[in-house]
Amino acid sequence: MAVLDIMLYPHSVLRERCAEVTEFDASLHQLLDDMAETMYAAKGAGLAAPQVNEAQRVIVIDVGREDRGRDLLEFVNPKITAFLGDRVIGEEGCLSFPDIYEPVERYEAIKFEAQDRSGTRIQMEVDGFLAIVIQHEVDHINGVLFIDKLSRLRQGLAKRKMKKRYGKTDLRRRVGEE
């Protein structure tokens, strides 16, 4: 497994609508393994493939508080099929926007479908923090960023922070070198 570079805003891959995965082979398994390793190294709760410069519909999530890897979830071609419950506002961050946290409105529960690393179909209904993280990561594979859900003022502030901090770099965060 390898720790991959995380693409920073405004890297163009973050705005791409990612391609469906059709091959459930060793290269997909390697990507899933590397994404999990990268997410853990960056201390994130979720990671989408475009964040590691792969325009594929692949996400990894671990909202467990202990025992790294025990609660790892891998979803290929995830799709939210229903938004449930009330809308809630919670502070969100993103590995492509280091150290930027903003209040974002999301649904408290969702139904979704996906495939696992071997292509087996999964259907789930989830709520709470897991539902929020899935919505965030599915947005990523659709080219939508959490700042898109902010007011114009807050969007502008977040973009200026990123430009000031990373404006002259190649828009890659080398995890572990911070």
Q: Is the peptide bond before 10 cis (omega within 30 degrees of 0)?
A: yes
Provide the annotated active-site residues.
137
What per-residue string of b and e applies to 37-62 under the rule 16 or more CB within 10 Å gives b?
Answer: bbbbebebbbbbbbbbbbbbbbbbbb
Instruction: Give the C-alpha distances (Å, rounded to integers) separating 10 from 51, 58, 110.
Output: 11, 20, 28
Q: Contact 62/19 with Cβ under 8 angstroms?
A: no
Beta bridge mates, 122 = 114
Are 8 and 53 a contacting pair, CB within 8 Å?
A: no
Residue 138, both tokens: 């599915």
